[in-house]
């Protein structure tokens, strides 16, 4: 089990306070007790938020939670940080794609976590929004159609934007961790699409009208740290893979980066920094990313018909 691999009994004192350590953070070579593991993780997220000017003192923050470990840790950390700002507000939001036996169970974890923090979970389903659950879409698509994740990703993005607008959120926080980000950067480079790195990391102040700005506060927290944090605080989360998961390419990149991180701790963080440099470089160059409004749904889109309407059309026909 992943949880057991990262949290172990260590015959050493905490590098910060000298108490018995429970965790070795490999990329900083720090032995940490549970309290210092939690505190240093929160401090790191606070620095990321400040460095990228992700939040103001009085934001209504929609926190996208899936029921999994990353978003559980994200919600707990943001809740802790934002408790110092009386004018800010946290609203956990879950998009229910309609995947029987998977999302319904994850929803229970999301509800339990929200309840434990005295927050009310907002839920928006694909069925409510589009008229179809993801299970329904998979049944309707033609045999040569896209994989389930292609529909899911496009529709979830739209659903999250609508859910955030419905609750009057100023910003949407998502739980992408360091491993996710490094993998995505690497995959885009390997596919010859490094411009996409900049396109998908738009800073808050440059967000397009009609889209609630998105922030990723835990991108400097490794997956190992996330698991250790969730395990130490016993946060409720759902730990089973989606039945439609089809990420062979990402799995190859994950294995490669994990091996490199093991041999050379710091590889993941260096990859993230390279992505940030590329984003800066693209941002300084003249850009051709122009938006119009979708002819069918009026949402800002780079093409006449947005991707959501295009995919919906394909499953209706």
Site string for Zn ion, 32-71 (x = CB under 5 A): -x--x-----------------------------------
CB 65 within 8 A of CB 110: yes
Do the Cβ atoms of 71 and 62 come closer than 8 Å? Answer: no
CA distances from 117 to 77, 103, 173, 269 (A): 11, 21, 17, 31
Q: What character string, x for contact with ligand SF4 (CB under 6 A) and - otherwise, covers 163-182?
A: --------------------
The nearest distance, CB 298 to Zn ion, in angstroms, is: 7
Residues 6+ apart with CB under 8 A from 204: 52, 53, 54, 171, 213, 215
Q: What is the DSSP letter of 297?
A: T
Binding to ligand SF4 (CB under 6 A): which residues in 136-155?
A: 148-149, 152-153
Q: Give the integer Cα–Cα distance in Å for 300 and 38.
A: 40
Residue in 136, 153, 177 with CA at minimum distance from that of residue 246: 153
Q: Is 215 in the site for Zn ion (CB under 5 A)?
A: no
Q: Are 150 and 307 in contact (CB under 8 A)?
A: no
Tokens of residue 22, six digits: 């429970």
- Minimum distance from CB of 242 to ligand SF4 (Å)? 3
215-254 binders of ligand SF4 (CB under 6 A): 242, 244-245
CB of 145 to Zn ion, least distance (A): 19
Interface with ligand SF4, residue 123, by CB under 6 A: no
Binding site for Zn ion (CB under 5 A): 14, 16-17, 19, 33, 36, 294, 296-297, 306, 309
**Contact residues for ligand SF4, defined by CB under 6 A:** 97, 148-149, 152-153, 242, 244-245
């Amino acid at each position: 089990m992943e949880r057991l691999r990262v949290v172990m009994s260590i015959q050493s004192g905490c590098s910060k306070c000298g108490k018995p350590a429970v965790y070795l953070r490999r990329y900083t070579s720090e032995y940490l007790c549970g309290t210092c593991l939690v505190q240093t993780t929160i401090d790191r997220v606070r620095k990321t938020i400040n460095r990228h000017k992700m939040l103001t003192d009085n934001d209504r923050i929609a926190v996208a939670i899936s029921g999994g470990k990353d978003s559980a840790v994200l919600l707990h950390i943001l809740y802790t940080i934002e408790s110092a700002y009386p004018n800010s507000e946290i609203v956990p939001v879950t998009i229910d794609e309609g995947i029987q036996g998977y999302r319904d169970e994850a929803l229970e974890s999301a509800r339990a976590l929200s309840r434990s923090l005295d927050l009310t979970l907002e839920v928006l389903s694909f069925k409510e929004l589009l008229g179809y659950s993801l299970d329904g879409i998979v049944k309707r698509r033609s045999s040569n159609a896209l994989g389930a994740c292609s529909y899911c990703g496009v529709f979830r993005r739209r659903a999250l934007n609508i859910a955030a607008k419905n609750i009057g959120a100023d910003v949407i926080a998502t739980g992408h961790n360091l491993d996710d980000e490094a993998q995505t950067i690497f995959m885009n480079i390997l596919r010859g699409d490094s411009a996409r790195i900049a396109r998908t990391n738009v800073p808050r102040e440059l967000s397009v009208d009609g889209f609630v700005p998105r922030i990723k506060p835990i991108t400097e927290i490794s997956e190992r740290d996330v698991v250790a944090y969730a395990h130490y605080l016993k946060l409720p989360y759902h730990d089973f893979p989606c039945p439609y998961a089809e990420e062979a390419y990402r799995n190859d990149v994950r294995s490669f980066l994990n091996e490199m991180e093991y041999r050379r701790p710091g590889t993941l963080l260096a990859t993230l920094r390279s992505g940030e440099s590329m984003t800066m470089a693209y941002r300084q160059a003249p850009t051709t990313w122009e938006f119009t409004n979708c002819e069918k749904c009026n949402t800002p889109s780079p093409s006449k018909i947005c991707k959501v309407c295009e995919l919906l059309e394909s499953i209706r026909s």
